Chains A and B, each alone.
Chain A
Amino acid sequence: MIGVRTAAGLMLLALGIGLRAAIAAPIDDAAEQYRPYMIEGIGQALAGARDLRERIAVHDLAGAKKAWISARAGWERSEVFTAGFVPELDAEIDAWPNAVSGFHAVEAKLFGAGSTDALADVDELVRHLDSLHGKLYGMTLSPQGLLDGTVRLAYEVGEGKADGGESRISGTSLDDMRNNVAGIGFAYRTIFGPALGAADTRLAEAVDARIRQLEVIVAAPDLPHVDIPALRRASEELVVTLQSASAKLGLQRPTLEANLK
């Protein structure tokens, strides 16, 4: 059998990853327009986590659950950039399944055990989200990194979470999916849509159509009514279309995993 290094080289060669197109598009400025959205999304997660801490302090379980869900919504729509730009904090905040910190550790206590005995965990969550929030103002935002993140999240959405997903204890996995799709849509339309529309109208329309398709699928009333095969197909078609679009945008074809060296 060939070595791992050789195998990885063959993959890159065969898939044409790393070949940057000659045509560049002016999207660096557009990436900057995405920053306020990032700050707002993590800001919502942070505000929710702080509210969660207050609810827990007074043993208000119902209020704490509500605050957790609000914090989670801000986090999920930010997943376009978290894994690629802040992988360490991403792993701390969203560790799973046997999490000792982060959202899922708190989720298990609130929604699983029905306990508000989670102050230390929530303190840690607030600390990490606060740290992330502070980084967002000065972070360099590369269009390539944001396209990579958009594509990875689009692929992940296709996993469907029909098994209950990550947030299976709180039962909010469908909300996770909706917020993921919202995050994808916003990132694409803010950063890449105008440039792609100018470079290749048909391709831009194809991307738009797939995002709208995802939005319709996750608008189902509950998880059992999500058409999982259709979701998977739309997700993969979106990724394939965005990969085709990368050349038109003057970017490399996105890789499917963050931290691929």
Chain B
Amino acid sequence: MIVRRAWIGALALGVLVAGLHERAAAFPVDGDQTTLPPKTELNEDALDKPREVFHSELAGGKSYMINLGDLAFNSPGVLGGVARQAGVSCGTCHVNGAGNAKLFMPKMSTRPGNFDTTGPLFNPKADNQVLDPVRIPSLRGARYLAPYGFDGRMPSLRDFVHNVIVNEFAGPEPSPGTLDAIVAYIQDIDFLPNPSLGPGGRLVGKINESERRGEALFMKPFPHDPSLSCAGCHTPSGVFSDHLQHDIGSGGLFKTPTLRNADFNAPYFHDGRFDSYDQVVAHFDRVFDLGLSTQDQRDLVAYLTAVGDGTQPYEHDGASATLKEINGFTAVLGAAIPAGDKDIVALAVDTIGNELRELTEQYPDHKNTSVTGGEQQRVMARSALKDLVLTLRRIDMAVADGRTADAAADYKNYRYLMAAAVPALLAGAQPWSLFNPAVHDSHYAALRQVMQSRHMSH
């Protein structure tokens, strides 16, 4: 997902949500009521976002279903109720299909990167009265990772998604088509490639000695129970998971997580209790009495790091990346307008319009003190994006009125502008936009200063 920025959180909820990858989302209305825990960053601080690799792009392009699923995944309306009001979508937690190690919601998280799916905020009926958050997982390679849930309780991804929407978030019953589309989208998200992994999951290429020793330790039976080994559960010949539940001394039975791309999946364990592989290895050493030397532990960490790597894990969150995602969403309209599908058109217009509004805010207006110069370029960029938002709204109104031909004409116009004019105007304004790190830093430093002045006074 593009997303977004979020000055923290669902203000609208009266809570503080840090790490929303949405440009607009939030700052606490009552910022003095809450402080950010250590290590939490404002999402705006990050100009990089996780790279999303689609399986279907290797085969010629994404289908309508995958684009629709991507759109729905990033639409707060799908989750309904509180989430819709707060602008929270599936993509808020699973940014571009990866996890969101920075997300923190008071009363729902105990640390950045975890979230209580049975907490009071989104569905009071699902509240189990216990603060028991679970790690927000990456969805990369999800099609290989059944069963689903931190405890592997659901064999079907479709059932799992349905449960998240209807029970965890108290959202409206999704149409079968929307549900199928979300599943198609999730199943299309690939692992990032890792050139160090060869056949059977063995390390290949330029492997150092520590990694090699770590690989041997990983395969070696545990000293006090030779039926066990790291590789016994994290099966290298598969996806470094045996798809089963185990008790590893962390408080219950939990599904074996994949180690693929795990370098980017911290925090670790079902509740996100560990920040690093060092802590994970130390836990296993202690619980299973492995007798690892300091060097052994280093070697295992080196091995895990090599296995968990991925090519280009992040990409710059610039206007072109945002437009690319928006164009994927927009493709849905190409089919929904001729079909007169009011619901899908409304979903697309609301979601894309929201993205475009958020993108507009990357080009500061004349009142913004964080940037000087390029005023005309900024004005043109903002104006172009606003015109797109309104063109989409005209499409929505026309389809709702049954004026499909008018909607099709506006859609053609929209596509025409998105093909060349809009990218050129955004590129022209880039030096004075928040995509420029200097402007970005200046802007958010000013916002932080403003918020801190409030915190200091209370």
Residues of A within 8 A of B87 (CB): 162, 228
| B14-A224 in contact (CB<8A) | yes
Partner of B85 from the list A2, A6, A228, A259 (CB cut-off 8 Å) is A228
- Minimum C-beta distance from B344 to chain A (A): 16
Which of A9-17, A138-146, A193-201 forms part of the interface with chain B?
Answer: A9-17
Verify if A215 is at the interface (C-beta below 8 Å from B): no
Which residue of chain B has the shortest Cβ distance to A112 in the bound complex? B453
B282 within 8 A of A: no
A143 to B85: give the CA distance in the assembly, Å: 36
Q: Which residues of B (1-35) have their CB < 8 Å from a CB of A?
A: 6-7, 10-14, 24-31
Chain A contacts to B: CB under 8 angstroms: 1-4, 6-8, 10-11, 14-15, 83, 87, 90-91, 94-100, 104, 108-109, 111-114, 155, 158-159, 162-164, 168-169, 171, 223-224, 226-229, 232-233, 236-237, 239-240, 243, 255-261
Residue of A nearest to B85 (CB): A228
B11 touches A108 (CB 8 A): no
A163-B26 CB under 8 A given contacts A3-B424, A233-B350, A236-B389: yes
Q: Cβ of A94: which chain B residues have Cβ within 8 Å of it?
A: 367
Residue in contact with A98 in the complex, picked from B365, B366, B370, CB distance below 8 Å? B370
**Contact residues of B: prevailing secondary structure:** helix
B369 engages A229 (CB within 8 Å): no
Q: Which of chain A's residues has its CB closest to B448's CB? A: A97
Chain B neighbourhood of A240, CB < 8 A = 390, 393-394, 397
CB distance from A170 to the nearest CB of B (A): 9
Known A11-B421, A164-B11, A229-B85; further 17 A-B contacts with Cβ < 8 A:
A4-B377, A10-B420, A14-B417, A98-B442, A98-B445, A113-B456, A162-B12, A163-B7, A164-B27, A168-B29, A223-B11, A224-B85, A227-B85, A228-B85, A236-B390, A256-B382, A256-B387
Q: Does B143 contact A (CB under 8 A)?
A: no
B376 near A237 (CB under 8 angstroms)? no
Task: State which residues 427-458 of B face A: CB under 8 Å.
Answer: 427-428, 442-443, 445-447, 449-451, 453-454, 456-457
Contact status B25-A87, CB under 8 Å: no
Query: Is A236 a contact of B393 with CB atoms below 8 Å?
Result: yes
In the complex, B233 has a CB within 8 A of chain A: no
Contact A97 B366 (CB under 8 A): no
* Cross-chain contact A98 with B446 (CB below 8 angstroms): yes
Q: How far is the CB of A106 from chain B (nearest CB, A)?
A: 12
B380 at the interface (CB under 8 A from A): yes
Q: Quick check: B366 and A87 within 8 Å, CB to CB?
A: yes
A2 touches B424 (CB 8 A): yes
Min CB gap A16→B, angstroms: 9
Is A98 a contact of B369 with CB atoms below 8 Å?
A: yes
* Contact A11/B29 with A111-B454, A112-B454, A256-B387 known, Cβ cut-off 8 Å: no
Report 27 cross-chain contacts, Cβ distance below 8 Å, ordered by A residue: A2-B420, A7-B420, A7-B422, A10-B420, A87-B366, A96-B368, A96-B369, A98-B449, A98-B450, A108-B453, A112-B450, A163-B7, A164-B7, A164-B29, A169-B450, A169-B451, A171-B30, A223-B29, A228-B85, A229-B85, A229-B350, A236-B393, A240-B393, A255-B383, A257-B380, A259-B375, A259-B376
A15-B387 contact given A111-B454, A164-B11, CB 8 Å threshold: yes
Closest Cβ–Cβ distance, residue B313 to chain A (whole Å)? 28
Number of residues on chain B facing chain A (CB within 8 A): 70
Specify which chain B residues have a CB less than 8 angstroms from the CB of A90 in the assembled complex.
366-367
Contact present for A14 and B390 (CB under 8 Å): no
Is B428 touching A257 in the complex (CB atoms < 8 A)? no
Contacting residues, chain A, for B445 (C-beta < 8 A): 98
Determine which residue in B13, B370, B387 has the highest number of CB atoms from chain A within 10 A of its CB, and name it: B387
Kindly state whether residue B379 has any CB partner on chain A within 8 Å.
yes
A99 surroundings in chain B (CB, below 8 A)? 369
* Closest chain A residue, CB of each to CB of B366: A91
What CA separation (Å) do A4 and B381 show in the bound complex? Answer: 10
Measured between beta carbons, the chain B residues less than 8 angstroms from A2 are 420-421, 424
Question: Closest residue to B414 on the A side, CB-wise?
Answer: A14
- What 6 pairs across the A-B complex have the smallest Cβ distances? A112-B453, A98-B446, A7-B424, A4-B428, A256-B386, A236-B393
Min distance, Cβ A115 to any Cβ of chain B, angstroms: 8
Task: Find the residue from A6, A100, A226, A229 having the highest chain B CB count within 10 A.
Answer: A229
Task: Give bound CA distance, A139 to B417, whole Å.
Answer: 37
Complex: chain B residue closest to A105, CB-CB: B369
Q: Which A residues are CB-close (under 8 A) to B30?
A: 171
CA distance A94 to B366 in the complex (A): 10
Q: How far is the CA of A204 from the CA of B394 in the complex (A)?
A: 17
- Give every chain A residue within 8 A of B24 (Cβ-Cβ): 162-163
A108 to B103, CA, bound (A): 28
* B384 interfacial by beta-carbon distance below 8 Å: yes
Q: Which chain B residues border A226 with CB–CB below 8 Å?
A: 12
Option from A10, A162, A164 in Cβ contact (under 8 Å) with B417: A10
Cβ–Cβ contact A163 & B425, under 8 A:
no
Give the residues in chain B near A228, CB-CB below 8 Å.
12, 85, 87
A1 contacts across to B, CB distance below 8 A: 420, 423-424, 427
Closest Cβ neighbor of B455 among chain A residues? A112
Chain B residues 76 to 94 lying within 8 A of chain A, measured CB to CB, are 76-77, 84-87
CA A159 – CA B365 in complex, angstroms?
14
Interchain nearest-CB distance for B440 vs A (Å): 13
B residues within 8 A CB of A4? Answer: 377, 380, 424-425, 427-428
Which of A6, A99, A163 has its CB near the most chain B CB atoms (within 10 A)?
Answer: A163
Of B6, B10, B428, B456, most buried by chain A (CB within 10 Å of CB) is B428
Looking at A226, A232, A240, the one whose CB has the most chain B CB atoms below 10 A away is A240
| Whole-angstrom CA separation of A261 from B24 in the bound complex | 28
Residue of B whose beta carbon sits closest to that of A114: B457
Residues of A within 8 A of B457 (CB): 111-114
Asked whether B443 lies within 8 Å of A97 as measured between CB atoms, the reply is yes
Question: Is B171's CB within 8 Å of the partner chain A?
Answer: no
Assembly CA distance A227 to B24 (angstroms): 16
Residue-wise interface mask of B (19-57) relative to A, using a CB-CB cutoff of 8 A (1 in contact, 0 not) = 000001111111100000000000000000000000000
Q: How far is the CA of A2 from the CA of B417 in the complex (A)?
A: 12
**B353 within 8 Å of A (CB atoms):** yes
Report whether B11 and A163 are in contact in the complex, using a CB–CB cutoff of 8 Å: yes
Nearest CB of chain B from residue A153's CB, rounded to whole Å: 13
- Please indicate the chain B residues that have their CB under 8 angstroms from the CB of A97 in the complex: 368-370, 443, 446-447, 450
User: Interface 1/0s, chain B 334-375, versus A by CB < 8 A?
Assistant: 000000000000000010011001000000011111100001
